[in-house]
Amino acid sequence: MIRKLSFAAGVAAVAVAILPPLSGVAAQLFSAHMAQHLLLIAVAAPLLAASRAFESLQRFAAVRKLTQPVTAWVGFVGIFLFWHWPTAFQWAARNEATILLEHASILFAALLFWSVALSSRGQAWLSYGARALFVMTAAVVTDLPGVIMLFAPRAICVMPGENAPAFGITPLEDQQIAGLLMWVPANLVFFGTATWLFALWISDTHKHSSQVTT
């Protein structure tokens, strides 16, 4: 039941991210565009991964290769950084097909990433402690664009149809809000998950030590 609810919530998060009204606002506000990314990466993907629906595909060799820890980490971080490069997301925003490509690739990479981090014990490539580091290191690297957006002295990340004044803010303020979204809510998810995994690792280590001493 919990897995079904997790899957349904993940699908709902994808719908909120890519459909109106958020998609319409995202064409005018960079911060709304980043909110779409945040929903896909930090809400939809972990919920879908937690539902274990993706694990049924592990019987395919290609999927097993993609969900190896190094491949999943590099793929997620690489795609994340690429789509937060102004030239890339501005190019994608000019066409419905490329917008779909951007969102689909971000969701797929995030799903691979979270499938490793939240894998069940039988499917796990890594221990809980290693998975905590897996998540934390990705969080640190993916923080970089948010830091740049927040502290840049001018607006360098704007949408092609940027219309921040219509919402009562400047393009620079819009960019700063986007940076805060990437920095604070995203880190709550990443570091919260890493802390939980670290606690599981400590618990497992303690149980193992107790069994050895007895």
Number of H helices, E strands in the chain: 10, 0
Q: What is the pLDDT of residue 25?
A: 98
Q: What is the pLDDT of residue 49?
A: 94
More confident: 8 or 120? 8
Indicate the pLDDT class of residue 212, thresholds 50, 70 and 90: low
Please determine, for residue 200, whether its predicted confidence score (pLDDT) is greater than 80: yes
Q: What is the pLDDT of residue 124?
A: 64
Tens digit of pLDDT for each residue in 42-86?
999 999 999 987 776 777 777 788 889 999 999 999 999 999 999
Per residue, the 3-state secondary structure of 168-197, as one string, reads: CCCHHHHHHHHHHHHHHHHHHHHHHHHHHH
> CA-CA distance, 69 to 58, in Å (whole number)?
14
105: nearest Cα among 7, 113, 149, 16: 113
Encoded tokens for 57 = 């595909």
Q: What is the pLDDT of residue 115?
A: 92
Q: What is the pLDDT of residue 44?
A: 97
Domain residues for the domain of 182 are 2-213
**Percent helix, strand, coil in the chain (nearest 5)?**
80, 0, 20
Q: How many domains does the chain have?
A: 1
Q: What is the pLDDT of residue 77?
A: 98
Decide: helix, strand or coil at residue 67: coil
Average pLDDT of the chain to the nearest whole number: 92
More confident: 5 or 1? 5
Q: What is the pLDDT of residue 207?
A: 65
Q: What is the pLDDT of residue 146?
A: 94
The structure's pTM equals: 0.92
